[in-house]
Every structure is written in C-alpha cells, then in structure tokens.
Structure 1
Amino acid sequence: MASTAIPEQISLRVVVDKEQNRVLYAEAGKDFVDILLSFLTLPLGTIARLVSRDSNTKPCRFGCISSLYESVGNLDPKYLNSETCKQMLLQPRNSMERYNQNLKLNIDDTEPTKYYACIDCLFQGPSLVTTFKNMKCKCGRNFTFLLNPCKWLLCSPLLSGSDKNASGDAGDNTWEGYVKETASFIISDDLSVTPANFNTTLCLLKNLRSECLPEESTVVLSSNEILDLLKYLLISKTALTDSLLRKEHSLMYSDTSFKITDERQDRESTGTMKIKVLMSKSKSKILFAQVEEDFMDQLLSFLTFPLGAVERVLEGNSGAVCVDKLYNSLFNFDSTVDLTSENLKNMFANLMIAPYFNVDNQMVPIDELKYPSELSVCSNEHAIGPYYLTADASLYLRVVRRVRMCDPKPPIAEGKSSNGYAKSRTKFMVADDLSVKPFSSHHVLSSLLTELKVPHHDLEERTIRIGVQEAVSILKASMVSTSALTIGLKEFLSNNIKEEGETKTRSSG
C-alpha cells in the first residue's frame, strides 16, 4: 500500500492566561519567526489570494485589495497590454522568494521564477530571456526553452548579483531563511517580535494582568494554522489569541478605525494626473472614478507591492495593528546575532518590487529590483547543455550567447515601449472599494439605479489631481478599509475649489 505523506508541522510554545482566555506570549525559534518575517515579503495581491481561501477560519477580505484583485481576475485581457499582464497581477512575484524557499511551512503557492529563451534565437542571433513561458518572441515563436538560473543571479539589491561558483553553491546560509538556528524570540499577542533575554522576560512580568501563574503549552501548527495567522495579522489586534484559541471574530474591517495621519505631509508631488469622480453629496462619498491608463497602472501596481515595503512608505503606521507591530519589530533584531545575513535588516528596510513588475512614473516610492546588466547563457559542456543563465560567464567553459532580460508586460513583437499594465487610451471605472471595470455608461447607470440607488440631485462630479500624497493615501486606505477613494481622498476633497467648471485641489496645485 502506498504511503501517505505526513504534512509539515512546527511546534510553538505559548503561555496562556486561562482566566482571560488570551495568549500572553509565545516562545519561538527559527521556524516560526522565519514564517512571520516572510509575511512582510508577500506582495499584496498574493495576500489577497491566500486569505480568500478556507483554513480553520473562513475566507476573509483584505480591505480594498481583495476587490481590486478579484476585479483583475474578471477583467478581459484585451484591456491590458498583454495576457501576461493579467498573469503578473494575479500571481505577483516575491522579490525575496529565494529566502522563503526553505520555510518549514510556506503557504505561498506562487510558482517560483523560471527563465525561458526562444530556442531559435538563442543559437542563431541576439537573444532575449523572459520569466514567463510561452510569451511571443520578436521572431514570432514562443519562449519555451528552460534555462537553469545560477543561485546568485538575483539574490538581493545589496548583493552583487554575480555567481559565486558554477554549481551555484556559495557555501553559506544565504537562502536559509532569515534568523539563525540558535536564535530565540518572544512573540507578543500583537505579533511584536523581540529577541529573548532577561530584559524581555522582565517586561513580560511587568505586563502580566493576573497574579496567577500563567499556563504553558505546546501547540502544533500546520499550513492551516499559518494561513489563519495571516488572516488575523491583517484584521486583529490580538492575532495569536484569535488564531490559536479560536476566539470568535468577524474577520472584517471597520472603516471607522481608519484615520488619515501626517505621514504624507513632507512627501513631494513630482507628477500629477487627473481623475473624474462622481460623488454622493449627502453622504460625502465617492461612488466611482473615471480614470485612464496612467492612474489605472498606479492602482494595479498595488497588487505587486511587498507588505513590508508598504509599511516602510507608511512609516510603520498602516492602521493594521499587528502588521505595524511585526514590521516595527525589525528594529529589535541584532544583524550579527539574530539574522542569517548582516544585510537582511537593510533589505527589509528597503523591500523592493520583483523585477519588471513596476510601472512607468510609479508614484508610490517603492523601487524595483534589477537584474544584472550583463547576462550570458553558458554551459560546462562543448556539446549539449545543461545551459545556465549567469552574470559571470568566466565561471563556465562555454559561452553560448550574451542575452538580456525583457519586460514581459508589452508584447515584444509589437515593439511597444509602454511599461504599464493597462491598455493605452482606455478608460476605466473604479468603484470606492477599488473594484475596476472598463468604463461604460451602462455600468454607471446600472450601479446608480439598482445597487447604490442614488438620486440624480444628490450627484456631484469633480475633477481631482492625483499626486504622490494622494496615491499613498489611497494605498493606506486600501489596506484597512473598504472605501479607499472616499477615505483616502477625504482630506484632499475638503480642500477642493471650483475653477472653470472643474474642481482642483489646493494641496496638489
């Protein structure tokens, strides 16, 4: 009889206040803390996809990000630059995927990055390489020839990107997660992570609310429990208690908990774009926005942003309490004592979008990870492969071809230079929850008459200029509310003035 594989599991020691039925803290080592830190590397679109699934708890919504993600899934690819664009947005790559590949429990099912060449061009002339199979090459054939990437081809923005040796084995622990095997940590109920020491223990004693000795137990976690934890990370202030003690929770956001803070005030608006919004005057609520591809690209790019990168932009104050606590815990780590690499702390402070996932004139200040400028396909055999994609051809016996990576968003054969997702000269209709559709008068009328039931006399049209501050504010609102446009633009709407039939904001000039 065939054996059944045993699912991976990890153990976690938790200390519980039985009187109040809450987790006081947990003691954890590498396996669990690596998983927590990996959450910060996940693109927002990946998180929306994962939390929409059943685990021990029901699926949950990730603010407006879930609505945006689902509407992209329903969008006809003809409204995007290529079919690859839809694939990129629904399966956004993680720029730190190499660090997550050996997690004891990895709930991210995004397909690992692979590299493809057009076999005809590779052996006959100038050649391109892409990370998406079956894209059309400029010669008209598909990219189907799989290359073996060397370990150091793309590791981090702070490493050289060159291969350490031909086998791809650098002899260190760079890909072995984030924290050292010997490290020990205390995790609070709100997912604050602190290296275990005397000071941490005394702080725990000070914060105990009961004189009774708390009870210690060991819980076994599988993928379902980790997915539960990711859900509660987004919507709870007590993620360990809610996920481990099975407390009833609505798994829903409360829009009233969101507050605009001052983190935008010093941000420079280097570029602006205009959008038209239709509002309910009585409710001061944005119903829809009519936008073009430039603003649409800004919204779609939200799905590609790593959670930790968004936290950096929002200065650790997204409004999602446990996410903020986890991110701000990074300052507690000692780079030489706790982490597998001294570079990791800086890397988390500067998490990037995966290569080629950014858009033109990206307003939200998150950089894109770049491939080395010079790449080669090489082999250690004079005859047939295997063939390696490398940044250091000197490590191999034979150089097959110098190659370059290509942006997968625009069709190569058409020679388009646009670096965005949305089809140019296309109008889109964006709802308050960031769900998107191609613009249609029928869609607008149908929503107003049947869903929203807003009378004509209550409608007001405005034109708003969107700059960096507005884009960041919409992003923040999209994380913790279901009214990203109304809440994100509230401050800017209140400063509107009418001028020659249009409404403009003083703040954006």
Structure 2
Amino acid sequence: MAKSSVSLKLLIDKQAKRVLFAEAGKECVDFLFYILSLPVAKLITLLGKEGMVGSLSNLYQSIENLNDSYIQPNKSKNTLLKPVSPVTGSSVPLLLLNDAPTERKFYRCSQWCNYVSFDPSAICLGCNRIMGTVVESVGPTLRKEASGEGGFVKGVVTFMVMDDLVVQPMSTISSITLLNSFNVKELSALEEKVVHMGMAEAVKLLRASLERKDVLTHVFLEGKKQRKNGFNK
C-alpha cells in the first residue's frame, strides 16, 4: 500500500542557507522517478491551471470548454484530460493517493464489428450503432521483485538526492567528494535535519522541479521560512 508520507534526511549548509543533498530511501526515490511518467494533463490537474507556467493550461481549458459536437464521435475529452499513467497501480507513494487505479472498460457494438471504444456512447464505424456493450479486457500481469516491495528501485539501497534532484546511490566517498565540491571548510556549518514529505510537499516539489534548480532548498527551507513568516505560496 502506498504511504501517505516519506521521510528524508537533509544535509544543510547553515551559512549558505541551502540544502547540499538529502539522504533518501526507496519510497522517496520511487516518487521522484515517478514524476517522469506523469502525463502533462496529470501535471496540470495536480498543480492546478493557475500553477502552471506558460500556455499548457490554456490547452487544457480549451478542451474542457470545447462542445462535444466538435469532437469525433469515437473520442472522449477524458482521453486527454484524465490520462492513465503507465505505472498506476504500482507501489509508488504520495501521488497515488489522488491517482488510484481504476478499471478501464472497453465497449463494442451489438454486431461484433472490429472496433472497440473507451466511450459507451461512441458510434461504431462499421454499422453506425452505439458501442454500449462491455468487452472484458485482459491486461499484463504486474510482476514485482521477489521481495514483493514493488516500485522502481530496490529497498536495500540508500540514495543521495541533490538539491537539483540528481539521484545516485549513497556512499561515504561520494559524500566527502561532494563536500569538497561545495567548498565546505567547517563541518560545524553543517546541520542534519529530518523532514517528512506528504502530499502537500510532494506537489510543491513537483512544481519546483519544473521551475528551478534549487528544489530541495526551495521546498524545505525557503517554504518553511515563508510559512513561518505568515506567507503562503
């Protein structure tokens, strides 16, 4: 079952007021990689049309406003507005709370023509009858790892997530190398902090990943500071 929140440990440079990297487990990394599989329309649904940068939200709104009389009889608005993610149903956390797997039904006409549709009100191209008869469908069997943990990455590995969402397996050597690359001189300037990422933080991270490079800093440091000062973004 998908978790409602996941935890990750941040390594913070207190002087620079930024997140250097985060130590994260399987659930967090599965969610980050899951972002890549989200259809554009799903992004708009999650972020809200007002939260989108650019003009994609206008396309979404245009489809919503389009009268059905202008749409092909065998097409449905939901095909574009509510697409099904290819990984829906796997044990990816957080966003699946709003993306529960639904049974996709196929329909045919009463004459058994060689056509199927997702829309029971569609008109058959062969006999012009309504395609209102449900057809049973068989999908591929989802295979899990032998451990039964599902998801994308293995649970025995701890991962390092950079501020710009570069993800790699955690190691002592890579951590030391990163501290040198960040020009950290005093270890006393570093602070470890455990944070929890629920649905609200996941959506903010999703939005930030489309707009900026300092994603973790923006979500977990700047965002916390803004809320503390009474701002809401």
Give the length in aligned residue pairs.
Answer: 219
Does 2:150 align with 1:176?
yes
Which has the higher relative contact order, 1 or 2, with Cα contacts under 8 A spaced 6 or more apart? 2
| Distance apart, 1:115 and its partner CA | 2.9
* 8 A contact 1:116–1:145 mirrored in 2: yes
1:52-106 Cα offsets, whole Å, 9 max, x none, are 17xxxxx522322122222222222333324834222211233x224x6321212
SS at structure 1 position matched to 2:136: strand
Give the corresponding residue for 1:84.
75
1:205 Cα deviation (Å)?
1.6
Q: Tell whether the 8 Å contact from 1:115 to 1:148 is kept in structure 2 after alignment.
A: yes
Instruction: State the Cα distance separating 1:186 from its structure 2 match.
Output: 0.6
Q: Does 1:101 align with 2:77?
A: no
Summarize the Cα distance change of 1:171–1:16 in structure 2 as closer, same or farther, 3 Å threshold: closer
Higher Cα Rg: structure 1 or 2?
A: 1
> Is 1:52 matched up with 2:26?
no
1:145 pairs with one of 123, 134, 142: 134
Contact 1:114 1:147 in 2 (8 A): no
Q: What runs of 5+ residues in structure 1 fail to find an aligned partner?
A: 1-6, 54-58, 153-167, 253-509
> Partner letter of residue 216 of structure 2?
L
Match of 1:218 in 2: 194
Contact 1:52/1:60, CA 8 A, preserved across alignment:
yes
Structure 2 segments unaligned to the other structure (5+ residues): 227-232
Q: 2:120 aligns with which of 127, 134, 141?
A: 134
Structure 1 distance, partners of 2:136, 2:214, is 45
Q: How far apart, in 2, do the equivalents of 1:141 and 1:44 lie?
A: 31
| Counterpart-to-counterpart distance in 2, 1:51 and 1:179 | 26
Describe the shift of the 1:235–1:133 C-alpha distance in structure 2 as closer, same or farther (beyond 3 A): same
Contact 2:105 2:137 in 1 (8 A): yes
2:208 to 232, 238, 243: 232
| Alignment RMSD | 3.3
Partner of 1:75: 66
Query: What is the SS of the residue equivalent to 2:160?
Result: strand
Pick the structure with more helix per residue. Answer: 2
Contact 2:110–2:131 (CA<8 Å) still a contact in 1? Answer: no
User: Are 1:8 and 2:40 an aligned pair?
Assistant: no
Aligned with residue 195 of structure 1, among 166, 169, 192: 169
CA, structure 1 residues 115+172, in 2 after alignment: closer, same or farther (shift >3 Å)?
Answer: farther
Checking the alignment, whether the CA contact within 8 Å between 1:14 and 1:217 is kept in structure 2 is yes
TM-score by length of 2: 0.78
Q: Structure 1 length normalisation: TM-score?
A: 0.38
Deviation at 1:169, TM superposition (A): 6.7
What percentage of aligned pairs have identical amino acids? 28
